[in-house]
Amino acid sequence: MTQITPELVDQHDLTAEEYDRILKLLGREPSLTELGIFSVMWSEHCSYKSSRTHLKRLPTEGAKVLQGPGENAGVVDLGGGWACVFKIESHNHPSFVEPFQGAATGVGGILRDIFTMGARPIAVLDSLRFGPVAAPQAGPRPGEPSVDLAQNRRIARGVVSGIAHYGNCFGVPTLGGEAVFDPCYQNNPLVNVFALGVARTDDLFFAKAEGTGNPVIYVGAKTGRDGIHGASLLASAEFSGEDGQQKRPNVQVGDPFLEKQLMEACLEAMQSEAMIGIQDMGAAGLTCSTCEMGGHSGMGIQVDLEKVPQRELNMTPYDVMLSESQERMLLVARRGQEQEVFTIFAKWGLDAVEIGTVIDEPILRVLDRGAVVAEIPNGALTDDAPVYERPWAPRPRSVPLDPPTPLPRRSGAQLGRDMLHLLADPDIASKHWIYEQYDSMVRTNTAIGPGGDAALIRLKETGQSLAMAVDGNGRYCYLDPRRGARLAVAEAARNVSVTGATPIGATNCLNFGNPEKPSILWQFGEVIDGITDACNVLSIPITGGNVSFYNETGGRAIYPTPVLGVVGLLEKSGRSVRAGFDQARRSVVLLGGVLTCREQFSVSFGSSQYARSVLGSLWGLPPWIDLELEKRVQACCRKLIQEGLVESAHDLSDGGLAVGLAECCLAHDRGAIITLNFDEEPLRLLFAEDPSRIVVSMRHDSLPEADKIISEYNIRADEIGVTEGSSLKIAQRGEILFELPIPAIRSAFDGALETAVESIVDSKVDSKKVPS
Amino acid sequence: MKFGVVVFPGSNCDHDAFYAVQNALGQQAAFLWHQSADLEGSDVVILPGGFSYGDYLRTGALARFAPIMQRVAKFALHGGLVLGICNGFQVLLEAGLLKGAMLHNRNLKFVCRQVHIRVENADTPFTNALRPGQVLQIPVAHHGGNYFADQATMDTLLRRRQIVFRYSTPDGELSDEANPNGSLHHIAGLSNRMGNVMGMMPHPERACEALLGSTDGRYIFQSAIRAATGAYSKPKPAAVATHR
């Protein structure tokens, strides 16, 4: 037996204290296999040891919540015996190490989480963050790393094609999401994937292992050495400079075809009476699924590794237990009926092998050729895993509150040019280069696909529709994590509301640096509180999610980046609208008012897209948000849609009113004449990112009735113009600021991202030499 | 009137085709398992879109060996109506039921978006409810839709009017910009010599409800219904005259 040395413990990323805890829980020295099992189960990724005490603060309850955090995915009741199942997960580090397979297996993992619950996945959204792919106008800010455009483009191309590869082949529509480019993500891209499925409430499945003697069945792909220590080494540690290359063998390789077969077989098997419980083998593979299934039911599982289908020779128990090979599931069936399960899997051309049994001791027992190679109480791996109250301390501000130079006075013509510049920034520009690589229409439910505020799909099963959006803003959270988190929740919910749907639940993906650093943990705690504030006011429960720590490379952390996925329900008879101006000669009305942020403009403007893209600068605080107002604005917008009074609704966010209006005009090549009768700075009117604002268009004769509703909700609404012509004309008081023809707007907006990402000029922004 | 939808391992538009013919067009539909040799009395067989056998080796290359394909080939030989959509088109090419081959898209990327296609031949079992030159809006979603054939084959296809659809602008103009994948002669849909087998890259099953953005796909299924029920019987003399 291998002697467990302090070096070995350290290599497994366990501390001396944690090892002592293992000795106490086992009452003896662990075997190497057991040490490996503890190391993955106690990794940050699996145990949430640094985040658990904070996550408890999130509001997770609601009348419609059927399953909150703790299962593979959250479940919200849709009524009529149906439920939706959804969750978001990160695959950040693997996507940096190997962009294509890292992103692909990220999709595969979240899809398994959904169909493990008995729900067929019917929608995917992606929230992506990369380093810059276009040279910034203003060059890197002081203290920022030099920008490696070629690397960032390679990662972006790889990630997008990996997502496309997996989702398209599997047959789930990828309906949109977001893509953001910032130097802080250069060596640590974020790939967060949201997936949603629907199931009958009665058909939901859970990770149960009941009935002593019942067979434990392994199904799906064979086990290889891929992904060993993926959870502990990739997802739970910082990267140093060269690690990206060295860690490549830890990234798994996905097979979406196999996963599609696996889903069909699992869903079919679940319809038989033979199945009791099911758990996917994701992070920590066979280890995690066996101890969790046992643990959930107060039972144990005994497995015999000899029986595990293997595709490599001479795999040790350690390898088999820790492998993260993809597309594998563990089932518990009823003894005597297991043949039904085998028959179904054979029909779909898949391995299904009995590898063990349910036992009535609460332990995980692993046999290999007759010998016990691991025997661990389930509790030691789950409930008794360490939980840390790590120290936290506010992060000292490293950016000033006030603008480094006085805000510029811009002429109308300059403002028009600024607008085109913003529209061509990859953050704002059309993402069609990304989403056209995704099949967004398979399953024929897509009512609103990519490119809008939220996606909207109909449910053939119930006649209802579901809207969904993912949003985050790392820059806001960097400047003030709590405010930023509130804004992220508000924006995701607003995106859902502008379709006409009512938010019913949310999932969050929390991307942060190293939680052992007090300032990072402070950011995390602040974000949790911000999400809690907003979810409480907006009555949106968090039904689950994922924490991704250690998003640091070379000691440089990403911006704290919580990504919120919000799901909304539209009943069968409900109306929905799209973002763009649909008709000419309609009144353009701004719900919420022009100014909703009480923060001093010169301070909040430092967090805006304008400050970043046009001024190349960062200062101040994110906009302040009145959550009560936000709630009323969203409710009012939904009411106006349901009453059939508005024909389009678009949320204002990055780039402010001017960019939002341009987006409304582009959808149907419909111009607008906008008159802003306010005495504010034009810069503020056009580009400030005050929250709680929605641009709607409506027939002129609908205005009186709409006004009644607007006053019922006690919000401000200003009629700011009319849809007309083939250009966007914006005037302040009587004076025209600028007029941009729609084709000019389109040429800035449409091709910018593609041009940037597909550019093959291999350049670093700080390098003086341009390759010839 | 019954549509049979073949299910290969990895087909993922099978349910969509089934739903379109059953719910949007009110016809009977049945799934036909790849290992079966029974078309279950189908009047029209649909080879649906998706990634049969994971696109391993080449798109459609493995599906042609599925047991059901022998039965489908025999059915086609006797004049049975066979519609291959997207991956189904690729399978028809690999099976030799249609001429030519698919290359990867011109930009080597998957492409999913609404496109316009122009009716080149309204005298087929799948287009008889349409007018020549009519433009339809139907989405594409594929990685390998860049149709290719050698010059001799292409000459024959043109002479025999086997090109059924071409990618075009909304106004019916042919252009490289309107062609999403670089296919030769902007070919979007192709039939066999008899016209009873047609493959097309765009997905008509995704264009059968206003909710999805277009109902133009219905014309194709309606044409097949007319053909299978005898409302449209034979190619008109002009088309027949080209047969040798």
Which of the four pLDDT bands, split at 50, 70 and 90, describes residue A299? very high
Per the structure block, which two tokens stand in for A115? 């169909």
Other residues' Cβ atoms within 10 Å of the Cβ of residue A393: 10
Residues constituting chain A: 772
| For testing contact with chain B, the best of A120, A175, A436, A444 (most B CBs within 10 A) | A444
pLDDT digits (tens, 9 = 90+) for A236-289: 666 555 555 455 456 788 999 999 999 999 999 999 999 999 999 887 889 989
φ/ψ region of B41 (left if φ > 0, alpha if ψ in -120 to 50, else beta) reads left
Of all residues in chain A, the percent with pLDDT exceeding 70 is 94
DSSP labels, A43-64: SHHHH-TTTHHHHTTS----TT
- Cβ distance A261 to B111 less than 8 Å, yes or no, reads no
CB-CB neighbors (< 8 A) of A346 in chain B: none
Which of the four pLDDT bands, split at 50, 70 and 90, describes residue A768? very low
- Cβ distance B110 to A168 less than 8 Å, yes or no, reads yes
User: How near does any CA of chain B get to the CA of A439, in Å?
Assistant: 5
Question: Contact at 8 Å (CB) between B196 and B83?
Answer: no
- Cβ distance B13 to A442 less than 8 Å, yes or no, reads yes
Residue B212 phi, psi (nearest 5): -90, 0
- Determine the 3-state secondary structure of B241 from DSSP: helix
Q: What does the alpha-carbon distance between residue A292 and residue A378 come to, in Å, rounded to a whole number?
A: 7
User: How near does any CA of chain B get to the CA of A690, in Å?
Assistant: 33
Q: Is the pLDDT of residue A133 over 50?
A: yes
Pick from B10, B15, B143: CB nearest A260: B10
User: How near does any CA of chain A get to the CA of B162, in Å?
Assistant: 28
| For testing contact with chain B, the best of A255, A441, A443, A465 (most B CBs within 10 A) | A441
- Determine the 3-state secondary structure of B90 from DSSP: helix
- E strand or H helix that includes residue A656: helix A656-667
DSSP labels, B134-185: -EEEEEEEES--EEE--HHHHHHHHHTT-EEEEEE-TTS---TTT-SS--GG
Contacts across the A-B interface (CB distance below 8 Å) = 81
- pLDDT value at residue A234: 53
What global pTM score does this model have? 0.95
Q: Is the pLDDT of residue A350 over 80?
A: yes
pLDDT digits (tens, 9 = 90+) for A390-402: 999 998 888 999 9
- pLDDT value at residue B161: 96
Pick the closest to residue A753 from A430, A442, A377 (CA basis): A430
pLDDT digits (tens, 9 = 90+) for A448-473: 999 999 999 999 999 999 999 999 99
Question: Contact at 8 Å (CB) between A114 and A195?
Answer: yes
Question: Contact at 8 Å (CB) between B18 and B31?
Answer: yes
Q: Determine the average pLDDT of the residues in B86-104.
A: 98
Pick the closest to residue A52 from A510, A486, A394 (CA basis): A510
Residues of B tagged active-site: 86, 203, 205
Pick from A169, A170, A436: CB nearest B112: A436
Q: Is A91 a catalytic residue?
A: yes
Please indicate whether residue A122 or residue A224 has the higher confidence score (pLDDT): A122
- pLDDT value at residue A241: 52
A→B interface, C-beta within 8 Å: 161, 164, 168-171, 255-258, 260-261, 348-349, 432, 435-444, 446-447, 458, 460
Question: Contact at 8 Å (CB) between A588 and A719?
Answer: yes
- Cβ distance B9 to A443 less than 8 Å, yes or no, reads no
- Determine the 3-state secondary structure of A284 from DSSP: coil
- pLDDT value at residue A207: 83
Per DSSP, which regions of A34-130 are E strands? 65-67, 74-79, 82-90, 120-130
Which of the four pLDDT bands, split at 50, 70 and 90, describes residue B238? very low
Q: Describe the strand order of the beta sheet including A542-548 as a list of residue ranges.
A: A446-448, A455-458, A465-471, A561-570, A502-511, A542-548
Which of the four pLDDT bands, split at 50, 70 and 90, describes residue B239? very low
The CA-CA-CA angle for residues A325, A235, A382, to 5°, reads 80
Question: Contact at 8 Å (CB) between A725 and A671?
Answer: yes
Please report where in the chains the tokens 């290599």 appear, as a residue: A11
DSSP labels, A702-737: GHHHHHHHHHHTT--EEEEEEE-TTEEEEEETTEEE
Q: What does the alpha-carbon distance between residue A444 and residue A739 come to, in Å, rounded to a whole number?
A: 40
Pick the closest to residue A652 from A407, A411, A428, A435 (CA basis): A428
Q: Determine the average pLDDT of the residues in A556-562.
A: 96
Per the structure block, which two tokens stand in for A656? 């402010």
User: How near does any CA of chain A get to the CA of B221, in Å?
Assistant: 16
CB-CB neighbors (< 8 A) of A432 in chain B: 113
CB-CB neighbors (< 8 A) of A349 in chain B: 9
Q: What does the alpha-carbon distance between residue A581 and residue A704 come to, in Å, rounded to a whole number?
A: 20
- pLDDT value at residue A208: 84
pLDDT digits (tens, 9 = 90+) for B12-65: 999 999 999 999 999 999 999 999 999 999 999 999 999 999 999 999 999 999
Please report where in the chains the tokens 């113009």 appear, as a residue: A721
Q: Is the pLDDT of residue A738 over 50?
A: yes
Per the structure block, which two tokens stand in for B75? 């059915």
CB-CB neighbors (< 8 A) of B139 in chain A: 441
DSSP assignment, residue A641?
A: H
Question: Contact at 8 Å (CB) between A472 and A177?
Answer: no
Residue A639 phi, psi (nearest 5): -65, -45
- pLDDT value at residue B237: 43
Q: Is the pLDDT of residue A770 over 90?
A: no
What is the complex's ipTM, to 2 decimals? Answer: 0.95
Q: Is A88 exposed, middle or buried (0-12, 13-18, 19+ CB in 10 A)?
A: buried
Q: Determine the average pLDDT of the residues in A25-47.
A: 93
- Cβ distance B10 to A440 less than 8 Å, yes or no, reads no
Q: What does the alpha-carbon distance between residue A529 and residue A541 come to, in Å, rounded to a whole number?
A: 14
pLDDT digits (tens, 9 = 90+) for A509-552: 999 999 999 999 999 999 999 999 999 999 999 999 999 999 99
Q: What does the alpha-carbon distance between residue B228 and residue B110 come to, in Å, rounded to a whole number?
A: 34
Mean pLDDT computed over every residue of chain A: 93
- Determine the 3-state secondary structure of A751 from DSSP: helix
Which of the four pLDDT bands, split at 50, 70 and 90, describes residue A71? confident
- Cβ distance A442 to B209 less than 8 Å, yes or no, reads no
Q: Determine the average pLDDT of the residues in A725-743.
A: 96
- Cβ distance B12 to A260 less than 8 Å, yes or no, reads yes
Q: Is A54 a catalytic residue?
A: no
B→A interface, C-beta within 8 Å: 9-10, 12-13, 15-16, 19-20, 49-51, 53-56, 109-113, 139, 141, 143, 203, 205-206, 208-209, 211-212
Q: Is the pLDDT of residue A148 over 50?
A: yes
Residues constituting chain B: 244
User: How near does any CA of chain B get to the CA of A489, in Å?
Assistant: 29
- Cβ distance A170 to B12 less than 8 Å, yes or no, reads yes
Cα atoms in the Cβ-side hemisphere of radius 13 Å centred on A246: 7
pLDDT digits (tens, 9 = 90+) for B159-206: 999 999 999 999 999 999 999 999 999 999 999 999 999 999 999 999
- Cβ distance B15 to A258 less than 8 Å, yes or no, reads no
- Measured CA to CA in angstroms, residue A351 lies from A103, A223, A261, B133 at distances of 26, 11, 11, 51
- Cβ distance A437 to B112 less than 8 Å, yes or no, reads yes
- pLDDT value at residue A236: 60
Lowest mean pLDDT among A398-412, A501-515, A660-674, B113-127: A398-412
Q: Determine the average pLDDT of the residues in B148-165.
A: 97
